[in-house]
Amino acid sequence: MIGFIGLGNMGSPMAENLLKKEGTIVVHNRTAARCEPFIAKGAVAAKTVGEAAELADIIFLSLPGPAQAEEVVRELVAHGHAGSCIVDTSTVSPGLNCALAELALAKGITYLDVPVSGGPAGAASGKLSLMIGASEEEFTALELKPYTDTFGDKYFFMGRRGNGNAIKLINNYMAFAAQAINGEALAMADALGIQVDDFYEVTTKSSGNNMILGAKMAKIKAGDYKPGFALDLVVKDLELARQLCQDAQIANFTLNTALQWYRIAQANGAGREDSSAVIRVIRETEKKR
């Protein structure tokens, strides 16, 4: 049986697609009320993580961060059975992925880091990118693709445990640093009297264009900061990326600069808003000068 733990903004549409395929799955969430819509559609709710481990052979995780992932995986390993598989789509540190994989292996359980990118809309439409901490041969042998195909359509095999999250953190650093640059650029346009529509008309069709610029354009124009990917999670991911740099003794000035803007946005109460709220905070900060 398939299990899913973590029914948040990303986990819910992923679990929904798995439920459509399987007819029934085991679900668990710290806030039990999130399980109710799935129960109504045929899912079985596990009262505890341990119960989910006993009921399911393959368990997918979508959790907020390292602390939650470690707690849940340790519980799954304690109550799980040899031959089962844990597919962790959470964004955590590569070092934690490796440690959890070793912990699971000692009990005959396979643990894979398979972080995803594409947001809730991508999860719902089955168009997520999957960054897999394993070889294609191992992934194929585990027969996971029929399940991951329900929410993902782009597969990237990174060879070994931890490298799925390593490339995810690098990707997120690039996207969120670009978003901070976009905010600074908009603040420049504001100061020079360039209208927002004109700013986007030029930059999205010129060499300054970047994927997140277009993706967040409608939100910025409408002042809509309802979260797709919460700003608090950006700070978590950038902190993890910074730790990756420290561990590998890699200099990265841009990451630290971007992180400070997101921390300022947090301090201004934007933590639970969309990541693009950093652009509003940058523009408002410059207007106050």
Residues 20 and 142 placed together within one structural domain of the fold: yes
Same domain, 181 and 151: no
> What percent of the chain is helix, strand and coil (3-state, nearest 5)?
55, 10, 30
| Confidence band for 208, pLDDT divided at 50, 70 and 90 | very high
221 catalytically annotated: no
Among 192, 170, 151, 184, CA closest to 279: 184
Rounded to two decimals, the pTM is 0.91
* 228 pLDDT tier (thresholds 50, 70, 90): confident
Task: Answer with the one of 114, 141, 160 that is the final residue of a domain.
Answer: 160
Q: Which of 152, 59, 168, 68 is nearest to 104 (CA)?
A: 59
Q: Same domain, yes or no, for 81 and 184?
A: no
Q: Are residues 125 and 260 in the same domain?
A: no
Q: Are residues 12 and 153 in the same domain?
A: yes
The H-or-E segment that residue 154 falls in is: strand 152-157
pLDDT tens string 36-91: 999 999 999 999 999 999 999 999 999 999 999 999 999 999 999 999 999 999 99
CATH classification at residue 40 = 3.40.50.720
Same domain, 98 and 182: no
When divided into structural domains, the chain yields a total of: 2
DSSP run (H or E) holding 188: helix 163-191
Residue 45's domain comprises 2-160
Residue 288 pLDDT greater than 80, yes or no: no
Domain match, 13 and 144 both:
yes
Shared domain check, 186 and 135: no
> Are 181 and 154 in the same domain?
no
Q: Is pLDDT above 70 for 206? A: yes
Mean local confidence (pLDDT), 176-204: 97
Catalytic residue, from 107, 154, 168, 236: name it.
168
Cα–Cα distance for residue pair 54/141, rounded to 1 Å = 23
The enclosing domain of 280 has a CATH number of 1.10.1040.10
| Residues 28, 14 share a domain | yes
Residue 289 clears pLDDT 70, i.e. is over it = no
Confidence tier at 93 by pLDDT (50, 70, 90): very high
User: Which tokens hold the place of 17?
Assistant: 């697609």
Longest dimension (CA), the chain: 64
Among residues 160, 189, 212, the one where a domain terminates is 160
Q: Indicate if 175 and 94 belong to the same structural domain.
A: no
pLDDT confidence bin for 34, thresholds 50/70/90: very high
pLDDT over 90, % of the chain: 98
Overall average pLDDT of the 217-236 stretch = 95
Q: Please, which pLDDT band fits residue 287 given cuts at 50, 70 and 90?
A: confident
Structural contact between residues 128 and 116, judged by C-beta atoms closer than 8 angstroms = yes
Same domain, 173 and 272: yes
